[in-house]
Structures are given as C-alpha cells and as structure tokens.
Amino acid sequence: MRNALFLAVILLASPFARAQQAAPASPEPETLFGRILKRSSGYGAAVTRFSSFHGELAVLAGGYGGWFINDRFLVGGGAYGLASGISAPDADNRYPGKRSTWAMGYGGLVLEYTLHSKKLVHPSFNTLVGAGGVGKYVHGINNNNQDWQDYGYDNSGFFVVEPGANVEVNLTRWFRFGAGASYRFIRGSNTSGITDAQLSAPAGNVSLKFGGF
C-alpha cells in the first residue's frame, strides 16, 4: 500500500516538474536608461598641446575626463593653461624695469566620440566649449618693502570653442596613447597687446588616457 501511494505521488508530480523545467526564465524588464546605457565607465586624459600664442611657439598643459557611455560617447569637462613663459609688453608702463609674461587658461564642457573603441588603432573626435581668461604676470613686485612677489594684471575673459580629432592606440586594457590636432577659437577678450586672432590658433596634441575602456 505504501509503495502504491509513493508511486502515485511521483506520477502526479512529474508533469509539474517538467513544466517547471521547460518554462523560460523571466526576462529582465526593459527600462529607458537600460536601453540607452548598455555599458558605461569613465576615463581621464592628460594632454599636452603645442600651439602658437601671440605669434610664438607655446605649450599648453591640461586634460579632460568624464563619463564614457557605450564605448563611444564621453560627457565630461576639461581645462588647459599656458605653460610657456612668453614675454608680454607692458604697454601702460605700469611696472618699468620688471619682466612681464603672458598668462592664459580656459576650460569647460567636453564632448568626445570614439569610433571602434575596441580596435587596436581607432579615431576619436572631441569638442571643448567653455570660457577662460588672459592677462599679464609681472615678476618682482615689491610688497611693502618685503619679499618680492609675482602679480597678475590687465586680465580679461573670453569665450572658447576647441574642436579636435585624434588617432588612438590601445596599449593596455586601461591605457591609451593618442595624437592629433585641434583648433582654438577665442572671442571676447580685451587685454591690451593681444587680439582674439592672436589667441586663436591650431594645436598639435599628445594625450595619455587612463580608465575603464
């Protein structure tokens, strides 16, 4: 009697067990951001730019970084500053006998598109849109007969747009080297001794990228 009851239970349970095994797993629910953001990470890039400033060869140092979406789009920010000590004229003769140099920096929103990011060699295209400032820096100002100090003067702000294109090489899974070119469009400055046209210039770039690719 006990064996017959056990056999009946097995026979009744078998169809339910087969149905459970045959039923597909519940699919993940579709979401708006799930469809758009299939993969995201981030990276940062240290950049050196070789350009002209006031008609002279100049080096600008800086970088950018941000959120990398679907191995293609970066949304982030960046900033650059003039690293060369280029002499500036003291047109108003404010500090006679003292050495003045140019100072410039700018930064803003960076958008970048990378094509075929997983390939060994691939292109990328980016644009910086933002603002900055330019002025003069005088070296050796006496402050109340104490230590000599540097002092900035004759400053003005400007609007900047800088599009660029690069070729990148994947050196490791987290490190890339890039080289390319950009053009710096500047409008709105009014510092004496330099114009928007002299601030605007092409640049050659080298970059080191670190992050999740």
The whole-number pLDDT of residue 169 equals 97
Of the candidates 176, 209, 197, 172, the one whose C-alpha atom is nearest the C-alpha of residue 66 is: 209
Asked, for residue 7, whether it belongs to a domain, the answer is no
Asked, for residue 62, whether it belongs to a domain, the answer is yes
Q: What is the pLDDT along the chain (213 residues), one digit of tens a residue?
A: 444 433 343 334 444 444 445 445 555 555 555 555 667 899 999 999 999 998 899 999 999 999 999 999 999 999 999 999 899 887 667 777 778 899 999 999 999 999 999 999 999 999 999 999 999 988 776 655 555 667 788 899 999 999 999 999 999 999 999 999 999 999 999 999 899 999 999 999 999 999 988
Asked, for residue 182, whether it belongs to a domain, the answer is yes
Count, residues in the chain = 213
Asked, for residue 144, whether it belongs to a domain, the answer is yes
Q: Which residue has the tokens 């070729």?
A: 167
Q: Which residue has the tokens 């629910």?
A: 29
Asked, for residue 122, whether it belongs to a domain, the answer is yes
The token duo for 61 is: 């140092």
Asked, for residue 8, whether it belongs to a domain, the answer is no
Range of the domain at 185: 39-211
d(CA 20, CA 8): 19
pTM value is 0.78
User: What is the number of structural domains in the chain?
Assistant: 1
3-state secondary structure at position 199: helix
**What CATH number corresponds to the domain at position 147?**
2.40.160.20
Asked, for residue 25, whether it belongs to a domain, the answer is no
Asked, for residue 16, whether it belongs to a domain, the answer is no
The whole-number pLDDT of residue 161 equals 98
d(CA 82, CA 177): 22
Sequence-ordered list of residues with C-beta below 8 angstroms from that of 86, at least 6 positions apart, any chain: 53, 54, 56, 58, 101, 102
